Structure 1
Amino acid sequence: MAANERALVWGPTFEEMLHPEKMPAAVRKRAVEAAKTDPLDPVNLFNITWKDENCRPYSMVLPKELTGIDAPVVVLYSKDFPTGSHKVGATYSVTLEHQLEGKIAPGRDTLVYPSTGNYGIGGAWVGARMGYDALVILPELMSQERFDRIASYGARYIKTPGCESSVKEIFDKCHELRREPNTVILNQFEVMANYRWHYFVTGNTAAEVVRDLGAQGVGNGRCAAFVSSMGSAGTIAAGDRLKQLFPSCRIVGLEPTRCPTLYSNGYGDHDIQGIGDKHVTWIHNVLNMDLLVCVDDMECKKGLQLLTDPVGMAWLRENGISEENIRLMASIFGISGVCNVLGAIKAAKFYGFSKNDMLVTVCTDAIDRYHSVMRQLDERFGGMTREEAKLRHETLFLGQRTDWVQEGTRLNRERWFNLKYYTWVEQQGKTVAELDAQRSPAWWEAHQAKVADIDARLLTLRG
């Protein structure tokens, strides 16, 4: 080991993140305690899981009084992950796999995490916990809370021009940084470890929730649809696993109406932070997607304010939602989480789902990242009133429409897939042969199958 290098820090396996009861008992106990007393202790890597200290999934069946549909909508929520977002899992898996392969070493390498938000926050936390100099690249117009969180974890950041959909500027900065010695780009949009974490950990956790709820009489024990907006398109990989377990499951992808890249080769700026990055990512299995739905960013922000503002919460209370559910919803949703729910309502109405057809989606982060955005809404539209709360509930949730919907026909899937060429072959150095290989389900299955080997190697090194 070189003089400036440090001892390697290892965290949990994929299997342990799915089933935290399989972690070494003493380590898990220390991790659960550290979550409350020392959240920057590296042992918190063993808190990267969708389950609480009692191994119960972080999940909620949304009240019908909110959604207005008979089909149950279940959300997995991630506010209790070490960074308050499930993206820390993908960041950990990307960093872990690079370290397993000997491509990076703490004390020697700077790890660069290109992001529009939560992946970068995850990189700031994971990189520093594993002993690396972590550098996050983030568009300058993201919420101030994101930059504050990155700095609090001991990482640095670079602001690039633009907003959520300005990913080309992030890539340009990555090309520049690659020329610097001992600088490694961990590109969430490209690295299959991101896909693997969500396929295995998020997908199998969602399946467990669906089956458990079915046993309780909620739904029929099968997943009718998995709904996810696309940023890096990591989360939507869970749909690939759910479709394997429940063959009739539809995978529903969401993007902003103001940046409808897959929907109509469109472009533009929007403010659903974390999604709609104006390109089709390398890790997105678009040929397996069944439905594409576009959601308006202002509807998502106004919907979040309804769920988190005291006046909005009072309106929901008047309309039959329990105090427990109101308080939980106010704590688990961020902008993209509301987007996912609005998309799920659209999909349920489009497909004509009934009370037996369960939809699963994800709250990717929570309100703690968006207080500044909520203040901007107040400044622009005035404070929430009872009349405004009523209007938002009735139009944004109960009255959600089935416009901006596109089915995954053979021709649409081919068009979605072909859009990868312009980013990954023309700009990022992939070959046409590499791209065409993704047309085969076997390509994706080979990447899924690597989980077992990665776990075995990690257990050997961990001792």
Structure 2
Amino acid sequence: MTVLFPTFEEMLHPQRVDPTIRQRAERARTEAPLDSINLFNIHWRKPDAGAHNGVPPVNYLVMPRALTGVDAEIVVLIAKDFPTGSHKVGPAYSVLIEKYISGEIEPNRHTLVFPSTGNFGIGGAWVGPRAGFKSMVILPEGMSRERFEKIEGYGASYIKTHGSESNVKEIYDECKRLMREHPDTVRILNQFSEMGNYRFHYYVTGNTIVELAAELNARLGARGIAAFCSAMGSAGTIAAGDRLKQVFPSCRVVGLEPVQCPTLYNNGYGSHEIQGIGDKHVTWIHHVTNMDALACIDDIECLRVLQVFTHPVGCEALVQRFGIDATTAHHVSTVFGISGVCNLIGAIKAAKHFGLGKHDVLVTVATDGPDRYRSVMEAWNARFPLSPAAAEACIAEVLHRQKTDWIKDGTPDHRRQWHNLKYYTWVEQQGKTVEELNAQLDPEWWLAEQAKVADLDRKIVALRG
């Protein structure tokens, strides 16, 4: 089949896509969501929104201060309107297209394997068949029921491994088995080590926020971007911070991980309930020497807030007890998943830690919507029925009175410690060399990876003939 592939530039600026293709993609969003033309819907812009001067607006939400309890403005990029309901479809596509144009993978020959704890795997399940490949996802058995349903619905298969969110070692072991038994037909697209993941977020997510800053300056009286906060799963999303720091040198990049699995914070381990982050290792693509702080977030607090945001009683409490208008309360109920709430809590914690106030903007990401956590929240609601008083108490305790504990600043010593933790996974287990690891200490290594976007785009355009 003939597939048209978008460039990185077209994912950043969908208005620059050929108008005929753009119109086909907009129609297919609802009429034919499995059509490959939806690859051109991988972007951060609002779907079906009127364009201003031909430019569709960025899909974001300014969180009401009545909810956050801080004077700083917290801006949330919304990912639920990407083709799979999460921005992770972007890295899945970017990793695929980079390997495709290099000749490492061939349609009708290779089965693409996407090791994941959730959204990247779902993205791979969608992207692979759209590009003419068979897709297989390796996913821990403890992930939400909806994740497995989505993978099957997109035409991919899956293998369940032991454990839950933080059991990535078992996923890697399964990848090695598949490669050992099927070396000619299986190819691993590893979000944790493939720089296509990093490049998507550096170039597309990062520059989307850079361009949004001008609008935020006018709307909020902002002074650039004061901080970017992101939890780490593959540590792809946090790469947007690299771009932001180049444009706004005072911008702080704040990484987040679960209190229950504080890998970077305390060389810790454990299981947790924030699906999509906290994978118990430091990923190859994580630019840890560019992080200004690391904060740990309690998974129980994330589940409590998500319950308030998505439960009818909670939505009513937002309106009646916190003065949020009904339209905004409904919007909030549709855009957050568990890790998105984690990012929101992390942004509040960062605002307090750095003493940010009015005219300071922190940007974070709602990485998916509540649709893939229905079963999780049904079980939670059954255990902890929500009353108006409990909803009010949750917002007050978790958001308004969020503490500044569990934070480490990115000192030179801490950054080197975070870097050194890569050794155990990547050198001892995954075949990298010490020389390759140490090369990442040089900022030029990361600049060289960023600079590859232009050449990749030229090669993607050449595929169209």
Q: TM-score range by the shorter chain?
A: over 0.9
Counterpart-to-counterpart distance in 1, 2:253 and 2:361: 13
Q: How much does 1:217 deviate?
A: 3.4
* 1:36-435 equivalences in 2 (<5 Å): 36-52=30-46, 53=48, 54=51, 55-179=56-180, 180=182, 181-220=184-223, 222-318=224-320, 319-381=322-384, 383-435=385-437
Aligned to 1:23: 17
Counterpart-to-counterpart distance in 1, 2:211 and 2:458: 24
Equivalent residue for 1:12, pick from 6, 9, 13: 6
Counterpart-to-counterpart distance in 2, 1:28 and 1:137: 33
Counterpart-to-counterpart distance in 2, 1:11 and 1:401: 45
Q: How much does 1:8 deviate?
A: 5.6
* Cα shift readout 1:50-92 (whole Å, capped 9, x = no counterpart): 0124311111110001100000000001111000000000000
* Cα shift readout 1:193-248 (whole Å, capped 9, x = no counterpart): 0000000000000111122110223422x000000000000000000000001000
Tell me how many residue pairs correspond in the alignment: 455
Counterpart-to-counterpart distance in 2, 1:191 and 1:390: 43
Percentage identity across aligned positions? 58
Which amino acid in the other structure matches residue 315 of structure 1? Answer: A
Unaligned runs of 5+ in 2: none
Aligned to 1:3: none
* Cα shift readout 1:251-277 (whole Å, capped 9, x = no counterpart): 000000000000000000001000000
**Greater mean deviation of Cα atoms: 371-380 or 237-246:** 371-380
Would the aligned equivalents of 2:4 and 2:37 in 1 still touch at CA under 8 Å?
Answer: no
Which amino acid in the other structure matches residue 86 of structure 1? Answer: H
Counterpart-to-counterpart distance in 1, 2:218 and 2:316: 33
Counterpart-to-counterpart distance in 1, 2:343 and 2:187: 32
Aligned to 1:4: none
- The alignment's C-alpha RMSD in Å is 0.8
Would the aligned equivalents of 1:8 and 1:105 in 2 still touch at CA under 8 Å?
Answer: no
Which amino acid in the other structure matches residue 172 of structure 1? Answer: D
Q: Secondary structure at the match of 1:370?
A: helix
Counterpart-to-counterpart distance in 2, 1:170 and 1:380: 31
* Cα shift readout 1:287-313 (whole Å, capped 9, x = no counterpart): 000000000011101111110100011
Would the aligned equivalents of 2:236 and 2:286 in 1 still touch at CA under 8 Å?
Answer: yes
Unaligned runs of 5+ in 1: 1-6
Q: How much does 1:157 deviate?
A: 0.4
The answer to whether structure 1 residue 35 and structure 2 residue 19 are counterparts is: no
* Cα shift readout 1:117-137 (whole Å, capped 9, x = no counterpart): 000000000001111110000
Counterpart-to-counterpart distance in 1, 2:211 and 2:303: 31
Q: Give the alignment's TM-score, normalised by structure 1.
A: 0.97
Would the aligned equivalents of 1:8 and 1:106 in 2 still touch at CA under 8 Å?
Answer: no
Q: How much does 1:10 deviate?
A: 3.4
Counterpart-to-counterpart distance in 2, 1:209 and 1:178: 43
Counterpart-to-counterpart distance in 1, 2:289 and 2:216: 29
Q: Give the alignment's TM-score, normalised by structure 2.
A: 0.97
Q: How much does 1:345 deviate?
A: 0.2
Would the aligned equivalents of 2:220 and 2:359 in 1 still touch at CA under 8 Å?
Answer: no
Q: How much does 1:437 deviate?
A: 0.4
